């Protein structure tokens, strides 16, 4: 059944809205006209996945957190489940991957954007003390945040809630209509095949390149030209030209 992606700055109230959504779905499903719908509602969050806030301070741990989220969604997104992904979902590439998972399963999806000014979110985060994000992690996540765009198919339907407006309520009826009453579009070629690249592909490529450069520079410290250098973390070898290379030469590779 449907996939709901929560998104917004850290400490913008996503988990509160996710819990509210879960309660509203469960109440609606108990109504007589919906008792033929045998659905259960699940929330997937960093807490349920065992992912600490500190994971977002390290690229490798963050990559593992995204993999855990995708695996959990793939397991739960079926015709019997309504899944609420209550994780940062701050990168559009990750939201695209989640969208592809929903399309593969032939189910609907939507995005719920908890909009809050960054200063207000920072203040809430600081009030949470040790339960909040470290200041450097908070700043990094907000700097890299990619706001959802309803013009893109993976961010649509998009429901935006102005979190600091007490009169802006969760548009539950519209969400219900969009993901329960609406029929899911069939999978297309692009969504039926999983994306080959990770959302942080460019970052990983740059980091791997830097690791190779560092390994080459370290090997040259002996002063003796090397015939090859082993790529860190693998058995692959980089052939050397028989002389030491300068840093500027390596950066042009």
pLDDT tens digits for range 46-86: 999 999 999 999 988 999 999 999 999 988 987 789 999 99
Question: What percentage of the chain reaches a pLDDT higher than 70?
Answer: 84
Q: Does the bond joining 157 to the residue before it have cis omega, within 30 degrees of 0?
A: yes
- Rounded mean pLDDT, 239-249: 73
The confidence score (pLDDT) of residue 178 equals 92
CA-closest candidate to residue 133, choices 122, 144, 117:
122
Answer yes or no: are the C-beta atoms of 86 and 51 closer than 8 Å: no
Instruction: Tell me if 2 sits within 8 A of 82, measured CB to CB.
Output: yes
- Between the CA of residue 97 and those of 15, 66, 73, 228, what are the distances in Å? 21, 10, 10, 38
- 155 or 249, which is more confident? 155
Whole-number pLDDT of residue 191:
46
Residue 112 pLDDT > 90? yes
Is 73 exposed, middle or buried (CB count within 10 Å of its CB: 0-12, 13-18, 19+)? buried
Q: What is the pTM of this model?
A: 0.72
């Amino acid at each position: 059944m449907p996939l709901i992606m929560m998104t917004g700055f850290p400490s913008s109230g996503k988990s509160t809205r996710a819990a509210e959504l879960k309660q509203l779905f469960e109440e609606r499903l108990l109504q007589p006209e919906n008792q033929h719908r045998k659905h259960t509602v699940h929330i997937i969050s960093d807490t349920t996945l065992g992912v600490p806030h500190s994971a977002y301070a390290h690229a490798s741990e963050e990559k593992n957190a995204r993999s855990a989220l995708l695996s959990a969604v793939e397991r739960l997104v079926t015709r019997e489940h309504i899944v609420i992904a209550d994780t940062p979902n701050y990168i559009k590439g990750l939201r695209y991957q989640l969208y592809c998972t929903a399309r593969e399963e032939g189910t609907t999806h939507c995005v719920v954007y908890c909009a809050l000014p960054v200063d207000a979110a920072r203040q809430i985060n600081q009030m949470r003390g040790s339960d909040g994000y470290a200041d450097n992690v908070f700043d990094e996540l907000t700097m890299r945040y990619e706001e959802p765009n309803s013009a893109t198919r993976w961010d649509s339907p998009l429901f935006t809630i102005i979190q600091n407006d007490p009169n802006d309520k969760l548009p539950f009826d519209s969400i219900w209509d969009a993901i329960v009453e609406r029929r899911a579009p069939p999978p297309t070629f692009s969504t039926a095949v999983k994306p080959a690249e990770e959302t942080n592909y460019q970052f990983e490529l740059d980091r791997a390149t830097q690791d190779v450069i560092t390994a080459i520079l370290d090997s040259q410290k002996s002063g003796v030209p090397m015939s090859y250098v082993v790529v860190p973390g693998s058995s692959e070898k980089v052939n050397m030209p028989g002389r030491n290379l300068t840093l500027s030469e390596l950066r042009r590779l």
